[in-house]
Structure 1
Amino acid sequence: MELRHLRYFLAVAEAENFTKAAETLGIGQPPLSQQIKALETELDVELFKRTARGAELTVAGAVFADEARRVLSDADRAVRAAKRAARGETGHLRVGFTGTAAFNEHVSGLIRRFREEYPEAELSLHEATSGVLLDSVEAGQLDVVIVRPIRRVADAVHQREWRDEPMFVALPTAHPLASRKRIALKELAEELFVQVPREAGGTLFDDIFAACAAEGFSPKLGQPAPQMSSAVTLVAAGLGISIVPESITQVRVAGVVYRALVARGLRARLALASRRDDPSAVVRNFLSLA
């Protein structure tokens, strides 16, 4: 039994006439009669009573008609669901992001647009350091990640730079430079830097070192911070100063002020990364919104 047999049967049931049903279906009346007869033979049930005016459903035929409509409806629903999945309108998308990216308005905006455009897609969010996130993409545990770019990524991972933002200095409120609106990087040459280490912070760590080198000094590293937001807490504790992306200035900690940093070419960069061979339409949809 095929779905077309059910459609033929229902056409006759609704028209109550083989000739009219054949016209509706666009086939000849004899082939239609043969298909219905073959269906009755397969079921070993009489579905229609042939009358002078056409055909009437038997009791068994009426029951079969209800079930046939349900089967065809389920089949149509399955087709629509498959097409939605193929277009990336449904499915499960696993997105990871660094702790600092969570404060970036472009990140929240991207996630919001995806939820608005594809409300039927399931979205799960995960936070970790850039290195851990990129490893998770390579392992197939996450689909897309928003990271501080890393210079070398696995061949299976595609990383592309997406956004950047200016840098600020987090200072203790009692610091001599705290009264200034803008601070030149070279003025921090004698300060103790509280930064997220290279293995957790991606290229941001190296970019800060390169900018300092361009100003003729190497940063003095103090207590490392596991995350950018915790670096601000360490600054409040008087353990040094920290260079942070602008988005981190939303983190308000008593005893800390943020001042714009004047540093040629120094920007906090964000990148999007996913698996190169990922055929998922839902991943493509997310990336297209970016």
Structure 2
Amino acid sequence: MELRHLRYFVAVVEEQSFTKAAEKLFIAQPPLSRQIQNLEAELGIQLFERGSRPLQTTPAGQFFYQHAVKLLSNAEEVKSMTKRVGMVERTVTMGFVGSLLYGLLPRIVYLFRQQQPQLKIELIEMSTKDQIQALKEGRIDVGFGRLRISDPAIRRVLLREEPLMVAAHSSHPLASQKQGVYLADLVEESLFLYPSHPKPNFSTQVRSLFSEYGLEPRSLREVREIQLALGLVAAGEGICIVPESACSIQFPHLNYIPLLDDAAVSPIFLAIRSMDESEDIRSLFDCIYQVYDLEAIKYDRAVL
């Protein structure tokens, strides 16, 4: 006996007609009649009163109907629960550098959750360098970072290049330069860099940016994290270079001024294992570009 036999029988009972049941099941009537006859032969009992109009079940048929309905209901519940169990077991683990939380990453992850409700999504803060090793060891499935770190086992996709800004106290002379400033304007300033470890990191990127233009800042001080750096700037202790998305961090008397040098950008990379072409990763890319489209952000779409 198969579940389809139970479905056929229940349909005939509920429609009280082989003809109507066949229409409901989208099958021809003769095959349906044969399936019911085979079911009766297997059970060794008569399920329907012959010649009754409308079609009526025998006492045994009524008993079988009640239990058939329960069995079909239980089968659907088992199917549904099994799907849910399978869905929970699918996990996408993302590594990310902390500064990306001030940008579009939260929106991307939220959209990904909405569009892929069957996935369990985990977020782990870690440096770009640590993300590479975590990808190779299978501890994460995707990494979001800012550094160009090459590894043959890892595929790195440039999502976009984020402009850099200068954070300064509202009383600082730079704060009046609303149109923007150049790196050369900053070399005599007291400049906070972050994070202090591990290397390479965003502070390494800022140092390299000055070197690219042949500049050497007079005073550099590394601090633990971006919030500490901006808090010190708000206290009038110096200035700090940050990604544009960090402008969402607000302190009293804290101003953000654009950096005008062409190379004053911070790249945002997505890293995955070189051979990973899963549908989950494709869906994540789609969410990224949907958010970028909404924000009118230019990008080169990657094709997996």
Name the TM-score class by shorter chain.
0.7 to 0.9
Gap change, CA 1:276 and 1:215, over 3 Å in 2: closer
Structure 2 stretches of 5 or more lacking a match? 289-304
Aligned length: 278
Deviation digits for residues 183-204 of structure 1, max 9, x if unmatched?
Answer: 2211222334321258657664
Letter in 1 for 2:163: P
What are the residue-to-residue correspondences of 1:114-129 with 2, within 5 Å? 114-118=112-116, 121-129=119-127
- Which residue matches 1:10? 10
What are the residue-to-residue correspondences of 1:125-274 with 2, within 5 Å? 125-153=123-151, 155=153, 157-173=154-170, 175-181=172-178, 182-196=180-194, 200=198, 204-219=202-217, 222-236=220-234, 240-254=238-252, 256-274=254-272
1:278, distance to aligned residue in structure 2 (A): 4.4
Deviation digits for residues 144-201 of structure 1, max 9, x if unmatched?
Answer: 332213322461x332111222111223455443443322211222334321258657
Deviation digits for residues 46-81 of structure 1, max 9, x if unmatched?
Answer: 4714433366142431322222331453366479x5
1:262, distance to aligned residue in structure 2 (A): 2.4
Letter in 2 for 1:145: G
Q: 2-side partners of 1:139 and 1:261: how far apart? A: 38
Q: 1-side partners of 2:214 and 2:21: how far apart? A: 88
1:269, distance to aligned residue in structure 2 (A): 1.5
Gap change, CA 1:165 and 1:196, over 3 Å in 2: same
1:36, distance to aligned residue in structure 2 (A): 0.1
2:66 aligned counterpart, secondary structure:
helix
TM-score w.r.t. length of structure 1: 0.74
Match of 2:71 among 56, 59, 68: 68
The Cα RMSD (Å) is: 3.8
Moved more, 192-201 or 164-173: 192-201
1:264, distance to aligned residue in structure 2 (A): 2.6
Q: 2-side partners of 1:220 and 1:206: how far apart? A: 16
Identity of aligned residues (%): 26
Deviation digits for residues 102-135 of structure 1, max 9, x if unmatched?
Answer: 111x334423433454456554444343334444
Matched, 1:97 2:96: yes
Gap change, CA 1:266 and 1:77, over 3 Å in 2: same
1:16, distance to aligned residue in structure 2 (A): 4.6
Q: 1-side partners of 2:256 and 2:64: how far apart? A: 78
Runs of 4+ in 1 over 6 A off after TM superposition: none
Gap change, CA 1:38 and 1:73, over 3 Å in 2: farther
Q: 2-side partners of 1:118 and 1:29: how far apart? A: 40
TM-score w.r.t. length of structure 2: 0.71
Instruction: Check whether the contact 1:130–1:201 (CA below 8 A) recurs between aligned residues.
Output: no
Structure 1 stretches of 5 or more lacking a match? none
